[in-house]
């Protein structure tokens, strides 16, 4: 493909055109690319790492779908659980769409050859998972379709093999740098850099799809891979796209203490128990019905509360024990083989014989690039004329806003986003386990179908002309690094960003902490803009990659802290202890304000401005689930 080095003339560079360019080769990106390649479209997938090494590979526990193979189940129960799990910030139309589609997309994966575990009758094995229930919260239900504790691994290999068969074109170890938009705001592709040669290039497309994953590396302690630096979020923010609900970050209850490596919720699905220093299974106090299988935000807060009240384990009383010894070695080696290996490698613990130390660890972002159920990136139309307000009246079950007829879902032509980098919003303020992999395949398929229609009906063989300044921003960024003689070390600046976010936006937050975090993250901007690249080499220069990633991390950090400081309530994963009580939510966790804060946050990078938009309270075909206190 035509490519250039940063010092060359870039006014008339060669570039290659595609029907669709997908940035990201994980579960959602490859599900979409498979859909497109099947339809005969010319597809390019740009991926930072080899596709089967994408972070989806770390997903362990399962894909949520109401197959009912182990116990009676249906999508209505799954819908209810997801709305409740989202703490009523999820859009109920999108949640209905996802949970209704779930069984079909799982069967499609099965037909592609995904090696799910099996029951004796040949059906797909399902295990219980946090927050999933039968009969609208009555009891736990097995809903996670599992491939041992390596479900993400199985998913990636299945999708990669399917894409190879269909002829999808992969650009491995390419990093997308900037979004290409014309004066009308339409998206025409991306610029990217080849890690192997250090050369940059233009990927022009009729449709551009971001599937870049999460940004968990904005925290110091994270279960995320080092590649998860919010690249798609950074590119979108710099191109004028707002980021939605970035105050909501999920802390997974069971990260290995001191290592941050994930131990799947499937452990508790198989029967593992969280214990404090007295050996007490304390979740029975916090969630009498679901116990250890309450939603993740609930369990993480409960664990932190035990530690804060002096019932933590170890010499410093700073962790909780996850006990699997009663499951037996045979069950563990059959259902949780990776967890056994992780225990040995990262904690020097044989989980068949002793409990393993765990702490809540950053795992997942609920926010992202705003989209609809077709994967289209959507923006509010026009400008805000007055401060947006939303109000839910629990007596009349009426949700209202002052937005009038303003359209909050105007699609950006040619631009799509799916997976963790997007915000549909099906997860709201807290994601249920298994709904992440489900999100990937449901909306990967949906976006693929919409792109096929968009490209074939509206474009034919035509490509919009690229703006004359197509490479200005990208080349300026590269040249600034290459020409630098002094300045900041990229890794040190990235670590400083992580420290600020970790210390000010944790499991429990305070208004004072968040406001101080905003001050600190804004004050660090001169360091972000003054990165010095000591190594100027072109071939596999990871220092250059790290320097480029810092800008993306910084956008994510600003969005997180500014959005969090503005939300004056507790909801889902956003727990601000200043707001411990409210009439809408007198029970633990405290302080949800449906009368004022049942609305989505939109953060704009250019001026750190916040806007808000309504929650989509009305489902597609069933009655809405009205807000109520979350008890489990």
| Distances from the Cα of 146 to the Cα of 60, 124, 150, 225, 264, angstroms | 8, 8, 8, 22, 11
Say if residue 240 carries a ligand binding annotation. no
Three-state secondary structure of 551-585? HHHHHHHHHHHHHHHHCCCCECCEEECCCCCCCCC
Q: Does 493 carry a binding-site annotation?
A: no
The verdict on whether residue 53 carries a ligand-binding annotation is: yes
Secondary structure, 3-state, 143-205: EEECCCCCHHHHHHHHHHHHHHHHCCEEEECEEEEEEEECCCCCEEEEEEEECCCCCEEEEEE
The answer to whether 47 is annotated as binding is yes
**In degrees rounded to 5, what are phi and psi of residue 544?**
-65, -40
Cα–Cα distance between 195 and 47 in angstroms, integer? Answer: 11
- DSSP secondary structure code for residue 363 in this structure: E
Give exposure, 58-82, as e/b (b: 16+ Cβ within 10 Å).
bbbbbbbbbbbbbeebebebbbbbb
Q: Is 515 annotated as a binding residue?
A: no
Residues contacting 94, CB < 8 A, separation 6+: 372, 373, 424, 425, 426, 616
Q: Is 592 one of the annotated binding-site residues?
A: no
Catalytic pick from 296, 498, 567, 571?
A: 296
The answer on whether 138 is annotated among ligand-binding residues is no
d(CA 528, CA 552): 10
Known binder of ligand: residue 165?
Answer: no
- Say whether 575 counts as a known binding-site residue: no
363 marked as binding residue: yes
Q: Would you say 99 is a known binding-site residue? A: no
Give yes or no: 296 in active site.
yes
Q: Is 24 annotated as a binding residue?
A: yes
DSSP state of 467: P
Query: Residue 520 CB: number of other CB atoms within 10 A?
Result: 18
51 is known to lie in a ligand binding site: yes
Is 56 annotated as belonging to a binding site?
A: yes
Is residue 85 marked as binding? Answer: no
Task: Give burial (CB, 10 Å; 0-12/13-18/19+) of 398.
Answer: exposed
Q: Does the annotation list 78 as a binding residue?
A: no
Check residue 584 and give left, alpha or beta (phi > 0: left; psi -120 to 50: alpha).
Answer: alpha
252 is in an annotated binding site: yes
Q: Annotated binding site: which residue ranges?
A: 24-29, 47-62, 231, 252, 264, 363, 420, 431, 436-437
Q: Annotated binding site for substrate: which residue ranges?
A: 252, 264, 363, 431
Q: Annotated binding site for FAD: which residue ranges?
A: 24-29, 47-62, 231, 420, 436-437
Annotated active-site positions, please? 296
């Amino acid at each position: 493909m035509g490519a250039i080095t940063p010092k060359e003339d870039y006014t008339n560079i060669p570039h290659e055109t595609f029907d669709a360019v997908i940035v990201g080769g994980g579960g959602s990106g490859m599900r979409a690319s498979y859909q497109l390649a099947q339809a005969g479209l010319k597809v390019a997938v740009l991926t930072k790492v080899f596709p089967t090494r994408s972070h989806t590979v770390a997903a362990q526990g399962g894909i949520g779908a109401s197959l009912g193979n182990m116990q009676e189940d249906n999508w209505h129960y799954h819908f209810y659980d997801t709305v409740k799990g989202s703490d009523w910030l999820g859009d109920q139309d999108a949640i209905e769409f996802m949970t209704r589609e779930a069984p079909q997309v799982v069967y499609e994966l099965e037909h592609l050859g995904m090696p799910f575990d099996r029951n004796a009758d040949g059906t797909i094995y399902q295990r219980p998972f946090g927050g999933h229930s039968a009969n609208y919260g009555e009891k736990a239900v097995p809903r996670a379709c599992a491939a041992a504790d390596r479900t993400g691994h199985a998913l990636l290999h299945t999708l990669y093999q399917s894409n190879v068969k269909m002829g999808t074109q992969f650009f491995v170890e390419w990093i997308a740098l900037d979004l290409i938009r014309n004066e009308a705001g339409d998206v025409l592709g991306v610029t990217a850099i080849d890690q192997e040669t250090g050369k940059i290039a233009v990927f022009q497309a009729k449709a551009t799809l971001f599937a870049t994953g999460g940004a968990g590396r904005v925290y110091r302690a994270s279960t995320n891979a080092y590649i998860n630096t919010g690249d798609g979020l950074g590119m979108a923010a710099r191109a004028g796209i707002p980021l939605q609900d970035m105050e909501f970050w999920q802390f997974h209850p069971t990260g290995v203490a001191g290592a941050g490596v994930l131990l799947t919720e499937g452990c508790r699905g198989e029967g593992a128990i969280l214990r404090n220093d007295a050996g007490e299974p304390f979740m029975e106090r916090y969630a009498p019905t679901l116990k250890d299988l309450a939603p993740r935000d609930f369990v993480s807060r409960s664990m932190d509360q035990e530690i804060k009240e002096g019932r933590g384990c170890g010499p410093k009383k700073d962790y909780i024990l996850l006990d699997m010894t009663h499951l037996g070695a045979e069950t563990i080696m059959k259902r949780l083989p990776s967890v056994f290996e992780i225990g040995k490698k990262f904690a020097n613990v044989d989980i068949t014989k002793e409990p393993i130390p765990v702490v809540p660890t950053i795992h997942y972002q609920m926010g992202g690039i705003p989209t609809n159920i077709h994967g289209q990136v959507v923006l509010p139309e026009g400008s805000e004329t007055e401060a947006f307000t939303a109000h839910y009246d629990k007596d009349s079950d009426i949700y209202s806003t002052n937005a009038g007829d303003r359209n909050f879902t105007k699609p950006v032509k040619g631009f799509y986003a799916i997976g963790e980098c997007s915000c549909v919003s099906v997860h709201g303020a807290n994601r249920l386990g298994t709904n992440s992999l489900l999100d990937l395949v449901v909306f990967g398929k949906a976006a693929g179908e919409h792109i096929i229609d968009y490209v074939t009906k509206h474009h034919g063989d035509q490509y919009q002309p690229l703006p004359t300044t197509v490479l200005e921003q990208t080349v300026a960024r590269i040249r600034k690094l290459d020409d630098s003689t002094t300045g900041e070390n990229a890794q040190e600046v990235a670590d400083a960003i992580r420290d600020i976010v970790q210390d000010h936006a944790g499991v429990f937050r305070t208004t004072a902490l968040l406001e101080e975090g905003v001050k600190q993250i804004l004050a660090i901007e001169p360091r972000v803009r003054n990165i010095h690249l000591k190594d100027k080499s072109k071939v596999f220069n990871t220092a250059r990659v790290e320097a480029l990633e810092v800008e993306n991390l910084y956008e994510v950090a600003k969005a997180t802290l500014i959005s969090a400081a503005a939300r004056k309530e507790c909801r889902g994963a956003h727990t601000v202890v200043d707001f411990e009580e409210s009439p809408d939510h007198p029970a633990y966790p405290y302080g949800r304000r449906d009368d004022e804060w049942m609305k989505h946050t939109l953060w704009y990078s250019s001026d750190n401005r916040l806007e808000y938009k309504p929650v989509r309270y009305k489902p597609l075909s069933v009655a809405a689930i009205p807000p109520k206190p979350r008890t489990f």
